């Protein structure tokens, strides 16, 4: 069983909709990550939160808006997405962003389709 829980598992939305992806972990990790994964490609980092503060934004378009309400939760708010944003969105967590030899733990992802 994965220790990082993502909801929903699947999401279909129109280009004018607003929706949110949710991620939760209860391992006491203080770093959380959003990745985007296209088919047959490795994950691409989008955002990193460390101690509930945004520490990395990989030049992600503003139609993606991350939020970290507390140390266990991470949200990704979506608005006015484009068809090319269809992908698997993965959340991950790790002990601390500075602990470079600790692995990241991934959720099973949300498969997003934009109509």
User: Looking at beta carbons only, is 15 or 56 nearer to another protein?
Assistant: 56
CB of 23 to another protein, least distance (A): 11
Q: Which residues bind another protein (CB under 8 A)?
A: 2, 4, 6, 31, 40-43, 45, 48, 50, 55-56, 90, 92, 97-98, 100-101, 103-109
Q: Please state whether beta strands 44-50 and 31-37 pair in parallel, antiparallel, or not at all (unpaired).
A: antiparallel
User: Looking at beta carbons only, is 47 or 64 nearer to another protein?
Assistant: 47
CB of 88 to another protein, least distance (A): 8
User: Looking at beta carbons only, is 45 or 60 nearer to another protein?
Assistant: 45
Q: Are 21 and 111 in contact (CB under 8 A)?
A: no
CB of 31 to another protein, least distance (A): 7
Residue 73 structure tokens: 């939760």
CA 6 to each of CA 54, 57, 72, 97, 111: distance values in angstroms, whole numbers, following the listed order: 19, 20, 12, 20, 10
């Amino acid at each position: 069983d994965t220790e990082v829980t993502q909801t929903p598992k699947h999401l279909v939305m129109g280009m004018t909709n607003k929706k949110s992806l949710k991620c939760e972990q209860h391992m006491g990790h203080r770093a959380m990550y959003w990745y985007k994964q296209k088919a047959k490609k490795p994950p691409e980092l989008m955002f990193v939160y460390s101690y509930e503060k945004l520490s990395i934004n990989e030049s992600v378009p503003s139609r993606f808006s991350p939020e970290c309400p507390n140390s266990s939760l991470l949200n990704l708010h979506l608005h006015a997405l484009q068809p090319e944003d269809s992908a698997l969105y993965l959340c991950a967590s790790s002990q601390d962003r500075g602990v470079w030899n600790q692995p990241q733990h991934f959720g099973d992802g949300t498969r997003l389709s934009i109509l």
